[in-house]
Structure 1
Amino acid sequence: MTAVTGTGGSAPLALVVGGSRGLGLAAARQLADRGYRLALTARNAEDLERAAAQLRKDGTTVEVHACDVRDEAGMEAVVALVEQTAPIEVLLHVAGVIQVGPLAAMNRDDFREAIDIMLWGPINTALSVSPRMVARGHGRIGIVTSVGGIVPAPHLLPYTTAKFGATGFSRGLRSELSGSGVTVTTAEPGLMRTGSHLNAQFVGNQGPEFAWFSTADNIPLVSMDADRAASQIVDAVLSGRAVVQPTPLAKIAQRVDALAPNATSVLLGAVTRLLPDAPPSAVHEKVPGHVAQQRLRPRARGQVQWLTTLGRRAARRLNQATRDTSQVSPEPPVMS
């Protein structure tokens, strides 16, 4: 790897928002491999400390700050605190939430949560960091959106809504900062094996919803290894590229939609009709994937565990192991 230096010849600093697990942790490792010191933020302090402990074993300098990206003042405070030690040379926003289920089982709170985290999160973070970068005349910003932010994903409407907004913000921010020395890269990955199916939130017919989502999220050739995706994203951000689509599905989906939007709409409608319906008169209940998995019949649960072997391995490596670790074993992925 090419060595990089920051102010005064020291290692430069990268702030990874949502860096405690999954794709965020994988990207943090990639930045560390390229010579960066790290500042990680996430909502859960315990997750942050576990991630930092993993990174420090490899000799990486890491500081952690528990903060909710929905908290504008909190993000401003974290950025100010981090910059007391060194300027933030790279900002990578990865924080997100995934809610899976039919629209009939969703409510407005699901949309608020998705938009607050995955649209206001990038806005709050970038507006805190970018003026400082502009004042210095250089900086790299990466915002992880999704293929679901350019082509709507079935049974992921709150997620899709927020990601469409984040894609527009990220691409527009690049234009606004043109000529300032600060670049903004929009990362639009598709399915990745990060282990996040165990922590995604499921509504409606939760067991079958978990079965289709976790299987799709972990099939080789359809989903991508998280470390490979993170490497491509980090390379694109550091080189200042406008857009990166690291997974095959993302590239294919965008091109098909651009060439044949009506056909794409028909196909997505057909897929949606094949997915589980919401139970009649169901009470709105949202459970994490490791709980939804237990609502499958034993035979189906065993089949799903076998099909998601690679994702469960990724979960252990990327700090996605749930509080109920029995759901990550026995042995034997996600949109961003």
Structure 2
Amino acid sequence: MSHDEKSEVSRTAEAPLALVLGGSRGLGLLIGRELLERGHRIVITARDTVELERAREQLDGWGPVLVRTCDVRDRHGIRQLVDELEEQVGPIEVLVTVAGVIQVAPLESLTVEHFDEAIETMLWGPVQAAMTVLPAMRRRGRGRIATITSIGGMVSPPHLLPYATAKFGAVGFSDGLAAALSGSGVTATTVVPGLMRTGSQDRAQFGGDAPKEYAWFAPAASLPLLSVDAERAARRIVEAVLRGKPMVVLTPMAWVGIRVRGLAPATTTRLMGLANRLLPSGPDHGGQHLVEGGRAGERLASRTVHALTVLGRRAAERTNEHVRPDRHEHPEG
């Protein structure tokens, strides 16, 4: 830890410490800001050191922020990070796992490796993080653990199968964790958002006919009737987590999807199948290279899609999601 960090930590040692895994951009960045507004110190992590520094700059003035390079798929790295923070910074009172990857592609363009990436990031990541902070939280008799899942973990949408597979597992883990911790003083919150305007279309990965996949996904993640304001969503998430609510569902469409699925599961699956047939098809083989959304949008070069994604692109600028010119096509986050 640097001298400046030690000075900052010492100055605010009385403030509760929150760890946000995947906090360099998008929803994670906004959740970090909300925690700062509520008097927390925060540690944000990501794989990309440049993004972390940019996030630190964006959060400068909101409160004390530490940044750490960490991959949620690395169990040893998670353990080292938690041990360092507990020993040198203070007890972790709040853990929020946000890190994720969105792969948009038809089944025929996917491989098992795409599922590995999604599951290791969005299922094993939250499991490893929660299980690492839990012993100390249970000894203290207090703590808040939040896992950002998705409506895609309640209803499996077309062309997002690796994402849905991981998110279904994350919902099961977080919901079961909340029950297992009942009465311990430690709470687990399952966060189930629908589409949010975070600028995620720029960092999602697209396969099959990548420009055509971008053409439907990007407007859906940008238009007000289909997506919600990410700043407002972050406020609701942090409020629910700090209150220890077991679950928070964020959008009307998410509520509708959950209820329809519960009442008519077979019909819901048939509707998803119909939507799948309406979406672009891909080459009849796997192993295809996925293209980052910013590149797919450039290849599409559609004025209509460009106009429909204005709000999403503005959100990307605010939340550090916009694509840098020097980035490779596979994002780190």
TM over 0.5: yes
What CA distance in whole angstroms lies between the structure 1 residues aligned with 2:254 and 2:83?
35
Report the counterpart of residue 107 of structure 2 in structure 1: 103
After TM superposition, the score normalised by the length of structure 2 is 0.92
What CA distance in whole angstroms lies between the structure 2 residues aligned with 1:203 and 1:319?
23
- 4+ residue runs of structure 1 moved beyond 4 angstroms? 280-283
1:140 is aligned, of 130, 141, 144, to 144
Q: Is the 8 A contact 1:193 1:314 kept in 2?
A: yes
Shift of the 185–20 alpha-carbon distance from structure 1 to 2, 3 Å rule, reads same
Aligned sequence identity (%): 53
Give the drift of 1:80: 1.0
1:74 is aligned, of 69, 77, 91, to 77
Report the counterpart of residue 179 of structure 2 in structure 1: 175
Q: Is the 8 A contact 1:222 1:248 kept in 2?
A: no
Report the counterpart of residue 257 of structure 1 in structure 2: 261
Q: Is the 8 A contact 2:108 2:286 kept in 1?
A: no
What CA distance in whole angstroms lies between the structure 1 residues aligned with 2:326 and 2:117?
26
Q: Can you give the 5+ residue segments of structure 1 that lack an aligned partner in the other structure? A: 1-7, 327-336
Matched letter for residue 80 of structure 2: A
Report the counterpart of residue 6 of structure 2 in structure 1: none
Matched letter for residue 283 of structure 2: P
Report the counterpart of residue 67 of structure 2 in structure 1: 64
Q: Is the 8 A contact 2:33 2:62 kept in 1?
A: no
- 2:153 is the alignment partner of 1:149: yes
- 2:246 is the alignment partner of 1:242: yes
Counterparts in 2 of 1:249-328, with a 5 A limit? Answer: 249-280=253-284, 284-296=288-300, 298=301, 301-324=302-325
Tell me the SS of whatever aligns to 2:96.
strand
Matched letter for residue 71 of structure 1: D
Report the counterpart of residue 329 of structure 1 in structure 2: none
Shift of the 218–325 alpha-carbon distance from structure 1 to 2, 3 Å rule, reads farther
Number of positions where the alignment pairs a residue of Structure 1 with one of Structure 2: 315
Give the drift of 1:324: 2.4
What CA distance in whole angstroms lies between the structure 1 residues aligned with 2:77 and 2:105?
31
Task: Tell me the C-alpha RMSD between the 2 structures.
Answer: 1.5
Report the counterpart of residue 96 of structure 2 in structure 1: 92
Give the drift of 1:325: 8.7
Q: Is the 8 A contact 1:42 1:65 kept in 2?
A: yes
What CA distance in whole angstroms lies between the structure 2 residues aligned with 1:59 and 1:190?
27
Give the drift of 1:281: 5.7
Shift of the 266–137 alpha-carbon distance from structure 1 to 2, 3 Å rule, reads same
Matched letter for residue 250 of structure 2: P
Q: Can you give the 5+ residue segments of structure 2 that lack an aligned partner in the other structure? A: 1-11, 328-333
- Render the CA deviation track for 1:296-329: whole Å, top value 9, x for unaligned: 1x4xx21111101001010000001111299xxx
Q: Is the 8 A contact 1:20 1:48 kept in 2?
A: yes
| Higher mean displacement: 169-178 or 184-193 | 169-178
Report the counterpart of residue 207 of structure 1 in structure 2: 211
What CA distance in whole angstroms lies between the structure 2 residues aligned with 1:175 and 1:274?
40
Shift of the 225–133 alpha-carbon distance from structure 1 to 2, 3 Å rule, reads same
Report the counterpart of residue 16 of structure 1 in structure 2: 20
Q: Is the 8 A contact 1:149 1:161 kept in 2?
A: yes
Give the drift of 1:59: 3.8
Give the drift of 1:18: 0.4
- Render the CA deviation track for 1:47-85: whole Å, top value 9, x for unaligned: 1111011111x2410001101001001001111111121
Tell me the SS of whatever aligns to 1:41.
strand
After TM superposition, the score normalised by the length of structure 1 is 0.91
Report the counterpart of residue 227 of structure 1 in structure 2: 231
- Render the CA deviation track for 1:96-134: whole Å, top value 9, x for unaligned: 000001000000110000000000100111111111100
